[in-house]
Homo-oligomer: A and B are copies of this chain.
């Protein structure tokens, strides 16, 4: 399978780019990764060349032939619609689709944007907060987000081997990078046993393993 006219503006440790890598792998769609270094030289995402591609100065951006799509969740929905015969990222039933989207948005909208790199930089560089204050802020929102996700998962008979039943979905594309961020920033999510069980289940699959930051071409060498 595959479609070589797909390019992903990518960064190894970006949660949002990582979601899309997982989605592409689950769909079995091959792609070309174009790394945008978010830290080096003040951040390549702020360069005019990249702002012309993505005015937000954020990764990911997906190119599919002449089409240019921003926003990780919009990209994942797009992939599901553009490659309908490949494995689905969203369930077929209306209720299940709503549930998967809500699970994904719990982390992708209500958690990650609050503690993302650019917010951390703003709190430090513009507002003058100290490292420890910023770290506390980051941990707080990650813990809040995962407490909510855990409750939503435990609250439903639709939770299965994965976030929604027994096949990986959009919700799992978001969950796995979220857990990585929580661990990286030292957020306390040990009590989120369903989240962690699903994370570990996902990580048994090559689609998730191959999308991991450490396996990306732009990751620092060990």
Report A's interface with B, CB cutoff 8 A.
Answer: 51, 55-56, 58, 67, 69-71, 73-75, 77-78, 81-82, 94-95, 97-99, 101-102, 105-106, 108-111, 113-114, 119, 122, 126-127, 129, 133, 136-137, 140-141, 147-148, 151-152, 155
**Can you report 22 residue pairs joining A to B where beta carbons are below 8 Å apart?**
A55-B148, A55-B152, A69-B98, A69-B99, A70-B102, A71-B102, A71-B109, A73-B105, A74-B98, A74-B105, A75-B98, A77-B97, A77-B98, A78-B94, A78-B97, A81-B97, A113-B113, A113-B114, A114-B114, A122-B137, A122-B140, A127-B133
Total copies of this chain within the assembly: 2
Whole-angstrom distance between the Cβ of A95 and the nearest chain B Cβ: 6
The one of B56, B102, B110, B113 that contacts A69, using a Cβ cutoff of 8 Å: B102
Assess the A71–B106 pair: CB atoms within 8 A: yes
Give the residues in chain B near A136, CB-CB below 8 Å: 127
Give the residues in chain B near A155, CB-CB below 8 Å: 55
The one of B71, B148, B151 that contacts A105, using a Cβ cutoff of 8 Å: B71
Whole-angstrom distance between the Cβ of A117 and the nearest chain B Cβ: 12
Complex: A70 Cα to B98 Cα, angstroms:
8
The majority secondary structure among interface residues of chain A is helix
Complex: A140 Cα to B108 Cα, angstroms:
20
Complex: A122 Cα to B56 Cα, angstroms:
26
Whole-angstrom distance between the Cβ of A141 and the nearest chain B Cβ: 8
Assess the A113–B109 pair: CB atoms within 8 A: yes
The one of B94, B141, B152 that contacts A81, using a Cβ cutoff of 8 Å: B94
Give the residues in chain B near A148, CB-CB below 8 Å: 55-56
Give the residues in chain B near A94, CB-CB below 8 Å: 78, 81-82
Assess the B114–A101 pair: CB atoms within 8 A: no
Asked, given contacts A71-B106, A105-B73, A106-B71, whether A98 binds B78 with beta carbons under 8 Å apart, the answer is yes
Whole-angstrom distance between the Cβ of A8 and the nearest chain B Cβ: 14
The one of B51, B102, B119 that contacts A114, using a Cβ cutoff of 8 Å: B119
